[in-house]
């Protein structure tokens, strides 16, 4: 199935697809192209029954569920449906699925995904990111607004987050490259790596996972680190007084049961020389 619609400006895209893949290419101008491709006979029947329509700037792609029976094809990876959408830049994407992978190759206006085991990958999201997943991995290169992610065993990788970030994972690892706002991460056994925090509050809690927080040079930092049986170490110069200086303030509050906590300095940003002043910190153990 292939359909093309004329549209003025970014779209609100809503996709319902049980399994397969959703691929979005936000490079079109004044149009939306939708292609549904089936990989087996049963999936072709579902494509034939699919609803694909544009209401104003709201695109709906609704593929019905499989009509009962045990699906051997999904077990061996032979079934599913590929949904490819080419749309204007800054379009908002909402996907509801069970096991479909979601890939966005350009700039989205916002990203909302509810799924079970599918992986999620996006290059750039201008608005909010909201994801609820069970075991799928999540990777976003640049999130320019708030991020809210809940997952059970999937790994989470955010290269750059401009807005506040809230991430909860049970056994998945969480990696945040650069954070420019408040960060709140909770894991059970998953490790946490905060590559470069610059300002705001960083709340990092884990049971058995290790926590590493790197503070960008030039930032003042207040540390409140607490672990029951894990080790705590800091590369920062610890002062008894309140941090002073003109740099932004970072409050790091890390807590684990058996996981290790490590506070370090972040690498200098590319194309920028490191600041002359070292990072200073005050450490408090609750």
Whole-number percent of the chain with pLDDT over 90: 77
**Cβ-based neighbours of 120, under 8 Å, separated by 6 or more:** 101, 102, 103, 113, 131, 133, 136, 137, 138, 139, 140
Model pLDDT, residue 267: 78
Per-residue confidence band for 227, with pLDDT thresholds at 50, 70 and 90: very high
Does position 27 have pLDDT exceeding 70, yes or no? Answer: yes
| Cβ-contact 140, 125 below 8 angstroms | yes
Residue keyed to tokens 């799924």: 115
Neighbours of 267 (CB within 10 A): 12
Per-residue confidence band for 280, with pLDDT thresholds at 50, 70 and 90: very low
pLDDT single digits (tens) 69-81:
434 334 444 458 9
Q: Pairing state of beta strands 2-6 and 31-38?
A: antiparallel
Model pLDDT, residue 273: 39
Model pLDDT, residue 75: 40
pLDDT single digits (tens) 156-173:
999 999 999 999 999 999
Does position 278 have pLDDT exceeding 60, yes or no? Answer: no
- pTM exceeding the 0.85 threshold for the entire prediction: yes
Per-residue confidence band for 245, with pLDDT thresholds at 50, 70 and 90: low
Does position 272 have pLDDT exceeding 80, yes or no? Answer: no
Of residues 268 and 11, more confidently modeled: 11
Instruction: Choose among 108, 56, 59, 48: nearest CA to 81.
Output: 48
Model pLDDT, residue 41: 86
Average pLDDT, integer, range 238-248:
66
Model pLDDT, residue 218: 84
Please state, rounded to an integer, the average pLDDT across all residues of the chain.
88
Considering only 86-90, 124-128, 155-159, 240-244, which range has the smallest mean pLDDT?
240-244
Neighbours of 189 (CB within 10 A): 16
Q: Sign (positive/negative) of CA torsion 43, 49, 54, 55?
A: negative
**Cβ-based neighbours of 253, under 8 Å, separated by 6 or more:** 201, 202, 203, 204, 224, 225
Tell me the two tokens of residue 56: 């104003």
Per-residue confidence band for 110, with pLDDT thresholds at 50, 70 and 90: very high
């Amino acid at each position: 199935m292939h359909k093309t619609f004329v549209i003025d400006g970014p779209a609100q895209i809503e996709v319902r697809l049980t399994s397969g893949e959703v691929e979005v290419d936000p490079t079109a101008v004044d149009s939306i192209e939708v292609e549904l491709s089936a990989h087996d006979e049963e999936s072709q029947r579902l494509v034939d029954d699919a609803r694909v329509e544009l209401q104003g700037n709201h695109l709906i792609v609704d593929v019905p569920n499989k009509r009962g029976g045990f699906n051997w094809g999904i077990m061996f990876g032979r079934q599913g449906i590929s949904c490819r959408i080419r749309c204007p830049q800054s379009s908002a994407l909402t996907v509801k699925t069970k096991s479909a992978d979601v890939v966005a190759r350009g700039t989205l206006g916002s990203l909302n995904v509810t799924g079970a085991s599918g992986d999620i990958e996006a290059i750039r999201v201008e608005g909010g990111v909201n994801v609820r997943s069970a075991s799928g991995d999540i990777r976003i290169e640049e999130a320019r607004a708030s991020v809210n992610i809940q997952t059970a065993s999937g790994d989470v990788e955010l290269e750059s987050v401009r807005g506040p970030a809230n991430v909860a994972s049970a056994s998945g690892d969480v990696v945040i490259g650069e954070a420019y706002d408040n960060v709140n991460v909770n894991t059970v056994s998953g490790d946490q790596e905060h590559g470069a925090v610059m300002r705001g509050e960083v709340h990092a809690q884990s049971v058995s996972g290790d926590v590493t927080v790197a503070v960008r040079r030039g930032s003042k930092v207040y540390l409140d680190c607490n672990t029951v049986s894990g080790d705590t170490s800091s590369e920062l110069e610890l002062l008894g007084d309140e941090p002073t200086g003109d740099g932004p303030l970072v409050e790091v509050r890390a807590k684990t049961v058996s996981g290790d906590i490590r506070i370090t300095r972040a690498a200098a940003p590319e194309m920028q020389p490191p600041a002359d002043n070292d990072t200073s910190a005050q450490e408090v153990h609750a």
